[in-house]
Structure 1
C-alpha cells in the first residue's frame, strides 16, 4: 500500500469498528481460553475448548459465554484504535527519511504500538478476566459441595450470589481498596505479552500483505489483507502465549479450590513450571490463535477497506 496518509479520526473509527465486530464474533472462544488457562492441575473443570463451551451453556445459559463482553465492547474501540493508529504513526515517522522501512524499524513501530495500547488493555483485561472466570470458580464450588468435600479456598466458600459481580462493582472496589493501581495489576505481564506480540504481528502482516500487491501504490485485495491478518495474528498469539498465561493468572483476583496464588511474574513462572510443567505455558494457545486470527483479519480488512473514510466523506455532502 502506498504511504498515503489517512486522517487520525479515520484511523480511530476504523480501529473501533474492527474491534467491535471482531470481539462480538470470537468472545466465547476468548472466555474458554481464560478458563482453560486459569485451571490448575488437580482442579480441572474443562478438558478442551468444546467441553468448556458446552458446560458453560449448560450451567450459565447461552449468554454465559458472553460474560465480560460488555467490558470488551466498551474498551476495545480505544484499545484497537490506539494500537492501529500508533503503529501507523511510528511507521510514518520512522520512514520520514524517504527510505523503505527495514525489518528493524517495522519491529520498532510494532513495539511502540504495543507499549501504547497497554494504557487501555490492562484495565480491560483485568475486569474481563474476573467476569469470565467467575463461572469456573462457581462451577468448582458446586462440584466440591456435591462431593461433600470441604473447601480450603475462602473464595470458593462464599455464597454463589457473590460470585457474579458486575464490572462496575469490581472497578469501584479496586479503586476504593488499591486506587488506580488496582486496575493496572499485571501491567508488567501485559507489557511482556503485548509488546512482543506487536513486534511479531505488524512486520509479519506488512510483509505478507505486500505479497498480494501487484503495485506498491495499490492496496492489496481485501482477502489478502484478511488472510495476512489471520496468519500474522495467530503466529504472534501462539508465540507470546506463555506471557498470556502468566498475565491471566496474575490478574485473577479469585482462586479455585487449592489453587496457587502468585506474588509476581517470576513467582508465577516458577510455580507453573515446577507444579504444572512447561506445557502449562501453552494452555489455551489454540483458543488464543482462534480468537486472534479472525480478530486481526477483520481489523485489517476494515482498516484497509476504509469504512471510516467512506463515512467521513458522506458528512460534507449531507451538510451541503
Structure 2
C-alpha cells in the first residue's frame, strides 16, 4: 500500500508493519468478529433465530456464557494476524511495483490498485485458511472444543492435514473481493481528499480512506463470508462451493440471509480498516526514519 513517502523499504519492514497493524486491529475489534460468526451460523430468522441482532447476541453471550466468551478463539486470529496482514500489505506493495513495470504505467491508477489488491488478497487467503477454520470451530455456539490445539487435533484425526484447508475456495473469493474493493476505494478516496501536508492531516486521510474502503469491501464480500462461515463450521454438508451455496441460501432463506452478520462485520472492518491503514503507514514512516537515517 502506498504511503505519502514514496521511498521503498525492504520486505522485512513491510512484514513488520503489516503484522503490527493486524494485531492492533484484532485486539480492539475481536468481540465483533465473534458476534458476526454467531449470527452467520444461525439458520432461520424471526422467532426461530437464536439471536435477533447484534445487541441481543452480545447480551446473550455475556449473560449465558460470560464476558470472556467474547474473546474465545482469539489465540488463532492473533497467531494468524501477523502473517495475514503482513502478507496483505507486503504483497500489495510488491505487486504494485510488478504491475506498473508489466503494464508500463509510471503511477498507480485505480484499476491497478484493484488488481494489486485482489492479487494480494489471493495470496493472503492461503495463509489464513487454517487459522480461520480453527477460529470458526471455536466461535460456534455448539463448539465442543476448549482450545485451538484441540480443534487442530480433531480435524487432522478425522480429515487429515489437508482438512485444515477446508473452505479454501470460499476464503479465496472472500479475500479477492474484499482486498480489491478495499485498496481500490482507498486509492479513489485519497485522490479526492486534500493533500496531506501535515502528520495530522495524513492520519485523518488514512483513517477516512481506510474506513470507507473497509465498509465498501464488507458490503461486497459479506455473502461470500456467510458461506465461508457455514462451510468451515462443518455443521452441514450441503455447503460446498461458494456461488452455488450463495444461490441456495438465497432460495431457502431469502436475500437478507446473505447479509447475516453484516452490522457487526461492518462495525469491525469499517473502523478496523481505518486502524489498519493508520498503523501500517505510521509504522512504515517510522521504519523509513531508521532505514534512511544516514
Tell me whether the two structures share a fold, i.e. TM-score over 0.5.
yes
For the 8 Å contact 2:203–2:278, the answer to whether it is kept is yes
Determine if the alignment matches structure 1 residue 301 to structure 2 residue 282. no
Determine if the alignment matches structure 1 residue 17 to structure 2 residue 20. yes
Structure 1 residue corresponding to 2:258, chosen from 251, 266, 281: 281
Shift of 1:253: 2.1
Shift of 1:170: 1.1
Map 1:48-197 to 2 at 5 A: 48-96=53-101, 97=104, 99-133=106-140, 136-137=141-142, 163-197=144-178
Q: Which runs of 5+ in 2 are unaligned?
A: none
For the 8 Å contact 2:130–2:165, the answer to whether it is kept is yes
Q: Deviations over 1:165-191 (max 9, x none)?
A: 321111122123222321111111111
Q: Take 2:272 and 2:196, find their aligned partners in 1: how far apart are those partners?
A: 27
Q: Which runs of 5+ in 1 are unaligned?
A: 139-162
Shift of 1:312: 8.4
C-alpha change, 1:233 and 1:66, in structure 2 (3 Å) is: same
Comparing 177-186 with 189-198, greater Cα deviation is found at: 177-186
Structure 1 residue matching 2:235: 3-state secondary structure: coil
Q: Take 1:220 and 1:8, find their aligned partners in 2: how far apart are those partners?
A: 27
Could you state the TM-score of these two structures normalised by the residue count of structure 1? 0.82
Larger radius of gyration: 1
For the 8 Å contact 1:71–1:167, the answer to whether it is kept is yes
For the 8 Å contact 1:2–1:219, the answer to whether it is kept is no
Determine if the alignment matches structure 1 residue 248 to structure 2 residue 229. yes
Structure 1 residue matching 2:43: 3-state secondary structure: coil
For the 8 Å contact 1:23–1:72, the answer to whether it is kept is yes
Length, aligned pairs only: 286
Moved >6 Å (runs of 4+): none
For the 8 Å contact 1:245–1:282, the answer to whether it is kept is yes
Q: Deviations over 1:72-125 (max 9, x none)?
A: 111111000000110011112222345222322222111210110011221111
For the 8 Å contact 1:130–1:254, the answer to whether it is kept is no
Q: Take 1:313 and 1:130, find their aligned partners in 2: how far apart are those partners?
A: 42
Determine the structure 2 residue equivalent to 1:155. Answer: none
Determine the structure 2 residue equivalent to 1:46. Answer: 51
Q: Take 1:137 and 1:267, find their aligned partners in 2: how far apart are those partners?
A: 26
